Amino acid sequence: MCTLDLANKGACSMNIQRRRFLSISAAVSIGAAIPFLRQVETNWNGHAFGAEASIKIKGDEKKAKMVLNTVVEKIRLAEQEFSLYDMDSSLSKLNKNNKLLHATNEFINLMHEINRLNQVTNGLFDPTVQPYFEAYSKSKEQFDEIDLNEIKASIGWHNVVIADNNNVFFKKQNTSMTLNGIAQGYATDLVADTLHSFGLENILVNVGEYRSGHSKNRIGIADQFGTLISQITLQNNAIATSSPLAYQFKNGGGHILSPFKGQVEATWKTVSVVAKTATVADGISTALALTTNTELARKLIADQLVQHVVLEDNSGKVIKL
């Protein structure tokens, strides 16, 4: 995946092997109404979701640092909840134990959103494809010994139970989940909502996906190699892009897997979705990457769940809906 912030000299956020460059820019003057406050640029550099991360906030230094600390806490919270690679994350505990008791509100909120997206995409968006991912990641010799039909029986959102008291259960022993197709979008929304809570409205947040505030931000849509194929203006909405072949397994197949078939031949090189939130844009772009025509995309636009969809097919033709 690649989306380009055209106002930032075309900075590219590539989704190659899940490595990302994270940037958050609160392009506002926090103390604009109080001219005697010292206006400085406050920076933070670190890592988030396994990628280099950078945050810049312009405004009164003291307030900017307070906002910055809160935003970093939100990013760390998202990592502790949703990372597949942190063995102590809530997701890892759920996968290991087949249950997660007294989950945080953030985790439960995302589960409910996944439930909704699973329904509106006719089951295409389904994080329980993780057993497929693990199977395709093995060597050819190991893969040849795997019974995919047995794996398929453990896959399906119907195997996930969101119970009372913030408890989550898997109905089947071998079910497991990946949130790579939606966690970055959810984290983007957490950060954007936090900045809004501090009165920062003219923002552009990128935690793997982009979400804009009141100001207009011109965003470029690029293919998996970084070539610009389209542009779109964000204002109070978000964009996410999925590229099935941005990461490939050893057999050459793409990393976006169907809950019904596992690996499928991709119709689209890239799928970009504009929606009100980055969570919805992220999940829907993942689902649409598995489609073979524009029928579902058009329906989701008609139902006003998403605002725009840009698809690039395997011939390089770009379809804008």
- What average pLDDT values come out for the chain (321 residues) when binned by 10 residues? 48 36 50 46 73 68 80 87 89 95 95 97 95 80 74 92 95 92 90 86 81 86 79 91 77 80 87 95 95 96 96 92 93
pLDDT at 321 (0 to 100): 93
Question: What per-residue confidence (pLDDT) applies to 53?
Answer: 66
**Half-sphere exposure in the Cβ direction for 285 (13 Å, CA):** 35
Question: b/e for 45-62, b at 16 or more Cβ within 10 A?
Answer: eeebbebebebbbbbbbe
Tokens standing for residue 285: 């772009």
In a domain, 25, yes or no: no
Q: For residues 50 and 85, is the Cβ–Cβ distance under 8 A?
A: yes
Q: Which of 97, 162, 91 is nearest to 130 (CA)?
A: 91
User: How many alpha carbons fall within 13 Å on the CB side of residue 308?
Assistant: 17
Number of H helices, E strands in the chain: 9, 16
The number of distinct structural domains making up the chain is 1
> What pLDDT, on a 0 to 100 scale, did the predictor assign at position 271?
92
- Is residue 11 situated within a structural domain? no
Establish if 7 belongs to a structural domain: no
Provide CB contacts within 8 A for 164, sequence distance 6+: none
Instruction: Give the pLDDT of residue 25.
Output: 59
22 found inside a domain: no
Domain that holds residue 46: 40-320
Residue 288 is assigned to a structural domain of this protein: yes
- Whether 238 is covered by a domain: the verdict is yes
Structural domain includes residue 6: no
Helix ranges (H only) for the chain are 61-82, 90-97, 105-120, 130-136, 140-144, 148-152, 183-197, 278-288, 295-302
Compute the residue count for the chain: 321
Residue 179 lies in a domain: yes
Q: What CATH number corresponds to the domain at position 100?
A: 3.10.520.10
156: number of Cβ within 10 Å: 18
